[in-house]
């Protein structure tokens, strides 16, 4: 096959030995199956080649990049003005966010692909495989029994908790960015990952991530639909009682006493803001 130009530097540096085939292509990146020389001989890995973010809406990017640090004030000014240099800086920051999150989460034991290297806009990482050694399917291509759905749902709730304890929220978790590996679900696609403590929309994003999981597995275990695991997890996170594997009910008791109108208004504003961001994502061309 024709070698993509972005992969040539990795071939030249000996980080990959052969490009096997293209695995998929989306708006943000194209993924290739590659062969590399490991400690025990040739290994099959994948290379995520980032594309320019011309189709990504600015408002959507703002949701996720709030409070992300830039290298210097010049970069920050350029990003704010939307100059060509600023767009380049923003795109590099978007790519680096995934790389940083992947290394951070892998170190924390989260079920994500193992990262190996990042060079010239290409992320080299583990190829997640199914029981037959083929590239693992996405969650949206799978069907489960009710018991399997409950088990995988709980596994992913624990991974969401593990991520949160590491200070990270996926921000766009759904059936399209979870792979079903031979040993269970693996979370992928993290360029929109946010800092749990530094983003004003962190709570809303966590709740949306967890609701997406409930709705996905709720097709096979209907009792999951309408559950409130996201709010329950966030409540434990705020109170410092969040623990991996802790019992969860999916229910949250209504607070007693007077209603906090300021908090209620903030939650309504967050919901409106998230809905506007969702519509922008839906309106973006494929």
The residues that are catalytic are 172, 189
* Separation of alpha carbons 206 and 11, rounded Å: 39
Please say whether the beta carbons of 208 and 229 come within 8 A: no
Please say whether the beta carbons of 17 and 37 come within 8 A: yes
The burial of 72, by beta-carbon neighbours within 10 Å (0-12 exposed, 13-18 middle, 19 or more buried), is given as exposed
Please say whether the beta carbons of 155 and 80 come within 8 A: no
Token readout for 126 is: 């583990």
* CA distances, 105 to each of 208, 224, 265 (Å): 20, 26, 33
Long-range contacts (CB closer than 8 Å, 24 or more residues apart) made by 106-114: 108/162, 108/163, 108/165, 108/166, 109/162, 110/159, 110/162, 110/163, 110/166, 110/187, 111/155, 111/159, 111/184, 111/185, 111/186, 111/187, 112/186, 112/187, 112/188, 112/190, 113/46, 113/186, 113/188
Token readout for 104 is: 């951070």
Token readout for 153 is: 């749902």
């Amino acid at each position: 096959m024709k070698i993509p130009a972005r992969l040539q530097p990795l071939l030249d540096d000996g980080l990959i030995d052969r490009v096997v085939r293209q695995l998929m292509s989306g708006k943000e990146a194209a993924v290739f199956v590659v062969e590399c020389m490991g400690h025990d001989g040739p290994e099959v890995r994948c290379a995520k080649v980032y594309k320019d973010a011309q189709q990504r809406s600015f408002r959507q990017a703002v949701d996720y990049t709030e409070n992300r640090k830039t290298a210097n004030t010049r970069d920050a000014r350029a990003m704010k003005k939307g100059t060509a240099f600023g767009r380049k800086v923003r795109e590099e920051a978007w790519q680096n966010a995934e790389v940083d999150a992947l290394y951070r989460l892998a170190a924390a034991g989260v079920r994500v692909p193992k990262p190996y290297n990042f060079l010239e806009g290409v992320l080299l990482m583990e190829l997640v495989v199914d029981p037959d050694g083929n590239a693992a399917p996405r969650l949206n291509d799978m069907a489960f029994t009710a018991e399997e759905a409950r088990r995988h749902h709980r596994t992913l709730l624990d991974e969401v908790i593990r991520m949160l304890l590491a200070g990270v929220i996926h921000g766009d978790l759904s059936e399209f960015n979870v792979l079903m590996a031979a040993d269970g679900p693996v979370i992928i696609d993290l360029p929109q990952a946010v800092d749990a403590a530094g983003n004003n929309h962190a709570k809303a994003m966590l709740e949306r991530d967890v609701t997406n999981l409930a709705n996905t597995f709720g097709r096979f275990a209907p009792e999951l639909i309408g559950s409130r695991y996201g709010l329950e997890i966030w409540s434990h996170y705020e109170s410092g009682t969040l623990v991996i594997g802790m019992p969860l009910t999916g229910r949250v008791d209504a607070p007693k006493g007077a209603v906090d109108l300021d908090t209620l208004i903030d939650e309504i504003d967050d919901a409106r803001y998230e809905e506007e961001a969702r519509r922008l994502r839906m309106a973006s061309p494929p």
